[in-house]
Amino acid sequence: MSDTKTPQVIDDSAAPIPAVDPRLLVREQGLKGYLTEFKRKVRGGELGSIPVVLGLIVIGVIFQSLDESFLSADSLSNISIYVAGQGIMAVGIVFVLLLGEIDLSVGSVAGVGAAIWAVLSVTHHMGDSLAVLIAIAAGAVIGGIHGFFFAKVGVPAFVVTLAGFLGWSGLQIWLMGQEGSINTPSGSIVDQLTNYYFEDVAAAYGLALVACVAYLGSMMLDSSRRRSAGLPGRPLSEIVLRTVVVAALAFVAAYELNQSRGLPLALVIFLVVLVFCDFVVRRTTYGRQIFAVGGNAEAARRAGINVEKVRITVFVIAGLLAVVGGLFIASLSGGATKSLGAGNTLMNVIAAAVIGGTSLFGGRGKIWSALLGMLVIQSIQQGLNLLGMASEIQFMITGAVLLAAVVIDSVSRRTQKSAGRT
């Protein structure tokens, strides 16, 4: 009897084949790969900005067919001014929503900030720049107070900011005094925010060129980094195509603005805020921590993230940007009043963030949601104003759009869960 053992033959064909994430193959398959990826995202509920872009197209077609002046240069220039103030406030709300929380105080904080600036600058004749800085700092302190009670004490953000909404509104009325309004001095910093235009046509075209070059450089750098890490990068053809699309949009916008009064300073500041905040959220450790806390706070804590610090600083950012937006509103309306930030301001700001694609459930969204959502809201309001519709009609339509955005977000989230993605 032999002691030799029969060698075992391993059938390699039966070995499990490692699964390959289809997203890693998209850029290698060209147009076919992108069509496959698009279908996968739609089936999985990852709609991104598609509903917003389609909505803007529909809005443009409808109102242009009803009133030919809707897409005129002056009309588009007005929209670019109107989106700035509340749009900057919406950026702060995006930060809060990424945590899965809400801030109901942004309107009253904006009003308090404008009141502080007006009282210091106009009533007490303080230097305009110093008054603006103190007002913005006050917004950051107010946001820090909200964040402290939420993160340290454990009071729900909804309750804290609702209390803030009431309390800061009272402080705003008290600061404004019996007259209730203080006009913006002509030529002041706040006055120039929405009334200054770069009339030289080179300004608008120059900004468009800078935006295109920066976008191209960002994609090239990102592709280079991915390839260095052994990951698929964007092919040159895709980079060129994306840059051409962005360039077309940017230069058409520049052309339209130059047909009116030129490049508005308000739009420039808004775009700077968007780009900077987008960089913070997408390219820094702090930004990744915000997404982590919003996705699962306990998991983030166990991973070593200082959850309380992230929460407090996010509310500081929201308060600071609320005051900046309030100064824009004061500039647009001609002064600070005891009702600045009231009315539909809070609704518009939150609606802009949600309509733009930021999830109410936390952990998902983009800073550019503030721009997209505010464009939708202001386009609707501009169109209805041109048609002479009453304000109550605007409220109802904006409310319906907000509800539709939340429904899309909820359905999308449910679809992703059923598809095995969160």
Instruction: Kindly list the averaged pLDDT for each block of 10 residues, start to end, along the chain of length 422.
Output: 50 46 52 62 62 85 89 91 94 94 94 95 92 97 96 94 95 89 91 94 95 91 82 78 91 94 95 95 93 91 94 97 96 92 88 85 84 90 85 79 74 64 52
Any residues with CB less than 8 A from the CB of 113 and at least 6 apart, and which?
Answer: 135, 136, 138, 139, 322, 323, 324, 326, 327
Question: And the tokens for 70?
Answer: 């809707």
Q: What stretches of 30-72 show up as alpha helix (H) in DSSP?
A: 30-43, 50-66
Q: Cα separation of 76 and 85, whole Å? A: 16
Q: Cα separation of 421 and 415, whole Å? A: 9
pTM of this structure? 0.86
What is the Cα 256 distance to its own chain's centre? 24
Beta strands 263-264 and 197-198, pairing class: antiparallel
